[in-house]
Amino acid sequence: MSNQTVIEMIRQRDVLNVGVSLGFRGLSFRNAVKNCWEGFDIDLARAVAVAVFGDAGKIHYMPLQSGDRFRALRDGVIDLGSFNSSITFQREAESEVTFVHPMLFDGEVLMTPASNLLEPVEQASYTRKRRIAAMRGSTTEENLKRYFGNLNLSCEISLFDSPSQARQAYQHGECNIYCLDSYLLAGERAQLTDKEAHIILQDRISLETMSPAVASNDPQWLKAVTWIMRALIEAENLQVSSKNIHEMSQEATGYLKTFLYPSEQNCKNLGLRPEFIREIIHQVGNYGEIFQRNLGKYSELNQARRDNNLWSQGGMLYSPLFI
């Protein structure tokens, strides 16, 4: 067995192996026109590549089914999992993986054709039929059983290996409800040929906290990716963006200077480049920029940030101090 650290192996290979989803618009999907991967999860991975190499492009993306994700991390097939996975007790206890830092707060919701409602009330209890499309290997099946059980409503759950399969089954009427996290479901709805005929119901069947994940066997790599994610949040908190990073780097004093110019020894201890924070902000942007261009007001999904605002602005995002 190799005695190399994860970062040493990544640098020797000269590429970061990243596991991603099979394709969720806004989170991680392959843009066939531009021939590249795009999305919120993709930008988080790009930030890691910048911190390690100084180059956001040194990534090999590996699309994985939900059921294969954590095995790929455990077995070292991928270095980083950036596949919109929810943090759960069971996953960390059983899978030998660790989630780094909460990066997206969401919850599972339901979409159905308007014609499947008994009355014009956008709630699950008013649906006529309840054959529900969901992703295999996710938390959704258990959440659906609990939620509809609490409503004393019967439902039939059909599990699929990929979002394209689930969306096709829903579009063709094989299923009359589609369940996903709300940001993901907004992306799926956008791809329907008659999206205006489909309603996302008011029900929120779960609360989910998403985070990138790494294998649990290398504390240095875990700490490195954790602080890379936190840097994206703290940059927004300090109002440092890709648009002003050059100016703010030159004028920085006090805590801002401590943040933008971490000690070389601390960076070395984590296997990161001394300039990694400034380079991440320059090449990828801060958390707010990443969210808005992939999921928010500058994206086709045009979703509100909701809980994904900074704590200082009423949201749930925070970073410990860079001191």
As a residue count, the chain comes to 323
The topology (CATH level 3) of 110-206 is D-Maltodextrin-Binding Protein; domain 2 (3.40.190)
pLDDT digit string, tens, across residues 293-317: 999 999 999 999 999 999 999 999 9
6-104+210-313 CATH pick, 3.40.50.150, 2.30.22.10, 3.40.190.10, 2.60.40.1890: 3.40.190.10
Whether 6-104+210-313 and 110-206 share one fold: the answer is yes
Q: What is the mean pLDDT of residues 92-105?
A: 96
Do the beta carbons of residue 104 and residue 210 sit within 8 Å?
yes
Residue 2: burial class (beta carbons within 10 Å; 0-12, 13-18, 19+):
exposed
Quickly list DSSP for 248-298: HHHH--HHHHHHHS--HHHHHHHT--TTHHHHHHHHT--HHHHHHHHTSTT
- Quick one: pLDDT at residue 137? 82
End-to-end Cα, the chain, rounded Å: 36
Instruction: Tell me the sheet residues that pair with 105.
Output: 209
| pLDDT interval class at 39 (50, 70, 90) | very high
Cβ atoms within 10 Å of 8's Cβ, excluding its own: 15
Residue 41 to residue 37: CA distance in whole angstroms: 10
Q: Is the dihedral of CA 52, 56, 60, 63 positive or negative?
A: positive
Task: Provide the residue ranges of all domains of the chain, joining segments of one domain with +.
Answer: 6-104+210-313, 110-206
pLDDT digit string, tens, across residues 227-252: 999 999 999 999 999 999 999 999 99
Secondary structure of residue 102 in the 3-state scheme: coil
Percent of the chain with pLDDT over 70: 99
